[in-house]
């Protein structure tokens, strides 16, 4: 088994390049692309770089320190292909460090990981480094217009755009081949069949079908999170878990250990319950910042 923390060690040694926006350019809007390991954000970055002066464009990546190693290879390739640096920032904690510090496991309604490690972190960076009223670009595809509405409500201090909501439209399932045609190999998370590449295939907002895939494709990652979840439960005494069991009409916590044992015992699970990360779109209940 490959200890997941080995991945983290490799990442922490990286230098986080921090470039200020709009370097030496007056009266120009800063354009910040919220970059991830996702292909849609790569294509969004390409469109922004094609349309704007490069010196006002920042490709911003918020590292949760819980990513798969191949995501960093992908980002390095993106830098080379687009000939533009990726600005890498981090809150400085891994997911479980944060959950333990906050005394709760994040969930779809209270997504403190994406809020603290991504949305708030990026907002702070932009406000500290860019001129007022910057333009933020998000990697939402043409079917995700509601997500753009959400970030526009949450960030009245910025202009929010999603270049891939505009034509020419690109289907998500066509993006891997389109990227390869440009010389970019998608991160291995796509080859493993995941919908997005965040947090190494783990996500507190994901459902049973997603975790079944994680167990099947990245067993060491699954076991790492199973162990961390159990440690959290032991330490806090709280009956909480990443997954939910809705059998019998009642919703109760379903630990990763119990879910793994169910699958390995040939038990059934909800194959339609995929869920999604949607890190940059705040929950409906989250107020404007």
- Tell me the C-alpha to C-alpha distance, in Å, between residue 248 and each of 8, 245, 274: 39, 9, 20
Compare residues 71 and 158 and give the one whose CB is closer to ligand SF4.
71
Footprint of ligand SF4 (CB under 6 A): 64, 95, 106, 111, 113-114, 117-118, 198-199, 202-205, 277, 279
Q: Please state the closest distance from residue 100 (CB atom) to ligand SF4, in A.
A: 14
Helix (H, G, I), strand (E, B) or coil at 271: coil
Q: Please state the closest distance from residue 113 (CB atom) to ligand SF4, in A.
A: 3
Q: Please state the closest distance from residue 50 (CB atom) to ligand SF4, in A.
A: 28
Compare residues 154 and 199 and give the one whose CB is closer to ligand SF4.
199
Q: Please state the closest distance from residue 200 (CB atom) to ligand SF4, in A.
A: 9
Q: Which residue has the tokens 């333009």?
A: 135
Compare residues 88 and 205 and give the one whose CB is closer to ligand SF4.
205
Pair 26, 161: CB distance under 8 Å: no
- Tell me the C-alpha to C-alpha distance, in Å, between residue 272 and each of 120, 130, 249: 31, 42, 17
Compare residues 32 and 214 and give the one whose CB is closer to ligand SF4.
214
Q: Please state the closest distance from residue 264 (CB atom) to ligand SF4, in A.
A: 24
Helix (H, G, I), strand (E, B) or coil at 170: coil
Q: CA-CA distance, 7 to 22, in Å (whole number)?
A: 33
Pair 170, 182: CB distance under 8 Å: no
**Which pairing describes strands 252-254 and 243-245: parallel, antiparallel, or unpaired?**
antiparallel
Compare residues 148 and 178 and give the one whose CB is closer to ligand SF4.
148
Q: Which residue has the tokens 């923390």?
A: 5
């Amino acid at each position: 088994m490959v200890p997941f923390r080995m991945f983290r060690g490799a990442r922490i040694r990286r230098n986080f390049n921090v470039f200020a926006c709009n370097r030496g350019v007056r009266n120009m809007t800063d354009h910040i692309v919220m970059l991830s390991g996702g292909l849609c954000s790569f294509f969004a970055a390409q469109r922004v770089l094609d349309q704007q002066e490069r010196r006002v464009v920042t490709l911003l990546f918020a590292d949760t320190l819980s990513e798969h190693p191949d995501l960093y290879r992908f980002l390095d390739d993106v830098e080379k292909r687009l000939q533009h640096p990726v600005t890498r920032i981090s809150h400085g904690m891994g997911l479980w460090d944060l959950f333990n510090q906050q005394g709760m496991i994040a969930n779809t309604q209270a997504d403190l990981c994406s809020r603290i490690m991504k949305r708030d972190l990026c907002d702070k960076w932009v406000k500290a480094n860019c001129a007022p009223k910057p333009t933020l670009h998000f990697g939402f595809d043409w079917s995700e217009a509601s997500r753009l509405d959400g970030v526009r409500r949450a960030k009245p201090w910025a202009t929010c755009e999603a270049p891939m909501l505009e034509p020419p439209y690109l289907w998500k399932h066509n993006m891997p081949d389109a990227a390869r045609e440009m010389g970019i190999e998608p991160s291995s998370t796509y080859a493993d069949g995941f919908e997005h590449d965040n947090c190494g295939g783990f996500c507190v907002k994901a459902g049973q079908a997603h975790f079944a895939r994680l167990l099947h494709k990245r067993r060491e990652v699954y076991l790492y999170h199973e162990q961390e979840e159990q440690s959290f439960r032991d330490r806090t005494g709280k009956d909480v878990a990443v997954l939910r069991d809705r059998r019998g009409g009642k919703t109760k916590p379903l630990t990763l250990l119990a879910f793994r044992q169910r699958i390995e015992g040939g038990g059934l699970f909800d194959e339609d319950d995929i869920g999604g990360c949607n890190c940059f779109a705040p929950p409906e209940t989250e107020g404007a910042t």
